[in-house]
Structure 1
């Protein structure tokens, strides 16, 4: 049994992790907003020639991991652009310095900084900083979700045919082709489908009631760790295939009244494989 002291210590740890995540995300957001060069170009590619990394991805991850190392030197880190460190504290940080890199490269506003903290394998803090919107999404396990100072709540249940659903498409051609077929089959059954280019923002938009649901195949842990916590703490359900947690195979978040029907259709349509 967990005693009151243990609970107090865990709540204090969560508060400390939230403060650190908010500071790191705000600093990275400022760097990315104010430091973006006019001639920003591609520094590298990853899974395909259109899956890009910019010099600002690398600079932002360096800033974030440096901040974490200074303030939480015993913690582990997993970053999208290669930062990796084993920790001894039981805490691991999951960092995506720019979620929506292609949007950032093109000057589109749907990009953000995503930072999550796990404690003993459970995500306990999530922060998604969205500078173009002037919005900071944050959540602490068991303590709700917020956009800036306002508490968040997902939309009330809606029939699936009136649900606005977000999704995304992978950068690998075979997977994109399969995802397009799933979207083709799903589109007539819902109100409409949106594709912002940032899974972290889409998950936060489920939390904020701007979407009724979201799904995507091929996401990595850093893409959804913070945003999925924000969605859950706003009352949404999250998962993957039936009975599974969100993951690379499939990530789903939706208001409780939409989740089951959306998950069932995605299972029927084979959204969890590449055809």
Structure 2
């Protein structure tokens, strides 16, 4: 295991322990938005992650949902979502995670997704088989939509919601089941280990998907990424197990 991956695991699990300690307790809200919630715990979690990363690599850049730190000119960038699934966390739904991806010269080289409730750690390095709690994982072998379990994300604007509802209506009648779970990173991790078969969402940020993208690709999946058609600066993604074809729903 590389030093980058070991530090990513250390940081993700440290932040996750803080989240598990506070899950179900009264929470301080920094900002309540129509389709999102910003918690004080998001900020504290990212600070824990940042402190651990910069203790080991003081010259690296940390780019996160709650701000940036370190040497922002560095060619090594840590892409951090301290709580992916904050709304779930706030409402007491035990489906959220810490997501940390590492880029070197613009290329993803390592990633960790940690679910502190289930105590599940997905870890990956470029060119190596990804793992879940140390055991190798692969995407599912399901190749037909009629056998597939697909998740469709519903994003944070009216335009994205309308596009997602239209896509959901078309997909849901073709697949075995659909799921809406509320964490992009965990959706990608679930495809990587065969629990889900595909995921589409209209409006995401890089920190939502950095670790999950590498995890999925190294597990045998496929990942399509385009500029969002409903929000400038955001991303549209379509992730699959590498066998399901969702071309007509893009």
Q: Which TM-score band (shorter chain)? A: over 0.9
**Greater fraction of residues in strand:** 2
State the partner residue of 2:242: 256
CA deviation vs aligned residue, 1:234-272 (integer Å, no higher than 9, x gap): 11111135xxxxx934112112211xx21x1223xxxxx
Deviation at 1:84, TM superposition (A): 4.2
Structure-2 residue corresponding to 1:227: 212
Q: Is the contact made by 1:41 and 1:105 (CA closer than 8 Å) also made in structure 2?
A: no
Bigger Rg, structure 1 or 2: 1
Deviation at 1:122?
0.5
1:50-129 matched pairs, under 5 angstroms: 50-129=35-114
Of 165, 171, 175, which residue of structure 1 is paired with 2:150? Answer: 165
Q: How many residues align?
A: 244
Write the distance in 1 (CA, Å) between the matches of 2:142 and 2:25.
44
* Alpha-carbon distance in structure 1 between the residues aligned to 2:4 and 2:96: 23
User: 1:165 offset after TM fit, Å?
Assistant: 0.6
CA distance change for structure 1 residues 98 and 89 in 2, over 3 Å: closer, same or farther? Answer: same
Q: C-alpha root-mean-square deviation of aligned residues, in Å?
A: 1.7
Question: Greater CA deviation, 154-163 or 28-37?
Answer: 28-37
Q: Which residue of 1 aligns with 2:25?
A: 38
Q: Distance in 2 between matches of 1:114 and 1:153?
A: 19
Higher helix share: 1
Which deviations, in whole Å up to 9, do the C-alpha atoms of 1:49-99 show, x marking residues without a partner?
Answer: 231111110110111111112111111111001224444542100000000
Aligned-pair CA distance for 1:37: 6.8
Supply the distance in 2 between the matched residues of 1:159 and 1:185 (Cα, whole angstroms).
15
Deviations 1:85-117 (A, max 9, x none): 444542100000000000110111110000010
Unaligned runs of 5+ in 2: 227-232
